[in-house]
Amino acid sequence: MDIFIQQLINGLVLGSIYALVALGYTMVYGILELINFAHGEVTMIGAMVALAVIGAIAGSALDLPGLLVVLAGVLVAIPACMLLGFTIEKVAYRPLRRAPRLAPLITAIGVSIVLQNSAMLIWGRQYVSFPPLIPQNSHEILGAHITDLQIFIILLSTLIMAGLWLLVQQSTLGRAMRATAQSKEVAALMGVNVDRVISATFLIGSALAAIAGVMVSAYYGLAHYYMGFMLGLKAFSAAVLGGIGNIAGAMLGGLLLGVIEALGAGYIGDLTGGFLGSHYQDVFAFFVLILVLVFRPSGLLGERVASRA
């Protein structure tokens, strides 16, 4: 039983990170109907930039408290990722807005290759480790352990998601985003500056990705130029699971996928009599993705039925 609760906690932590990244996919898809393949790499860049700043401060003579150093890293990573997301949209996607559907998808793959390899050239092929700045206090709940960092990740991502929900539902920008998602042409007729809304979407999504990137690297204690690929795919699966284009769906899908993955990895050995082990963890996201797309392409919360043209 305590294994179950432990895996549930691990799953929720991982799931809230997936949810943050999934929001970026779902917002862009909702508006542009484009799978922003490069979003995972934006997350990776966020982690790498933050780690570079953290490493520089921790290595210098300044003797700041650990949490402040991490905060400084996050505060640099967010604008860096926002600038990156903004530029990607402007350079790679905007010229192709009226092109056939596969064209921007192929560009997105190209951008993601460019980002990944640039990161490899800048930061090298080896893993970058997260300096031990965050205290690792552990609490016991129902026989399972939860660290301060895990609690913090869950709380912060809940807060951010609540804030985003308010932004989308209450603010003028949010209303403009929803209108653009329904129909770009009509929204433009109503005086919405569609280009600006799309840019804003990329800015918000990239900021969330930066935070998620720092969370992942702090949680695992590592960052790597290749980390964005798997993370991005899983977050995309989460967005599809929840219903792509749907913001609440991305949050739900992220949490669910995290839990499925953690429980699956915890129990797959027992279920298959030891034939398959926990290193098959990465397979779950894809199975979930394929199952959802086959049986319920609109996702759990998706109202718009994905067209089957």
Name the residues that contact other proteins, by CB under 8 A. Answer: 33-35, 91-92, 95-96, 98-107, 109-114, 116-118, 120-121, 229, 233, 236-237, 240, 274-277, 279-280, 282-283, 285-287, 289-290, 293-294, 297, 306-309
Q: Minimum CB separation from other proteins for residue 285, in Å?
A: 8
Of the pair 2, 33, the CB lying nearest other proteins is at 33
Q: Minimum CB separation from other proteins for residue 257, in Å?
A: 13
Assigned token pair, 283: 């397979």
Q: Minimum CB separation from other proteins for residue 214, in Å?
A: 25
Of the pair 233, 248, the CB lying nearest other proteins is at 233
Q: Residues 75-90, buried b or exposed e (16+ Cβ, 10 A)?
A: ebbbebbbebbeebbe
Q: Minimum CB separation from other proteins for residue 109, in Å?
A: 6
Q: Minimum CB separation from other proteins for residue 118, in Å?
A: 7
The closest of 76, 51, 207 to 134, measured between CA atoms, is: 51
Of the pair 117, 170, the CB lying nearest other proteins is at 117
Cβ count within 10 A of residue 278: 11
Return d(Cα 8, Cα 118) in angstroms, integer.
Answer: 36
Of the pair 53, 187, the CB lying nearest other proteins is at 187
Q: What does 166-191 look like in DSSP terms, one character per residue?
A: HHHHHSHHHHHHHHHHH-HHHHHHTT
> Tokens 């702090």 appear where?
218
Of the pair 130, 225, the CB lying nearest other proteins is at 225
Assigned token pair, 130: 């997260």
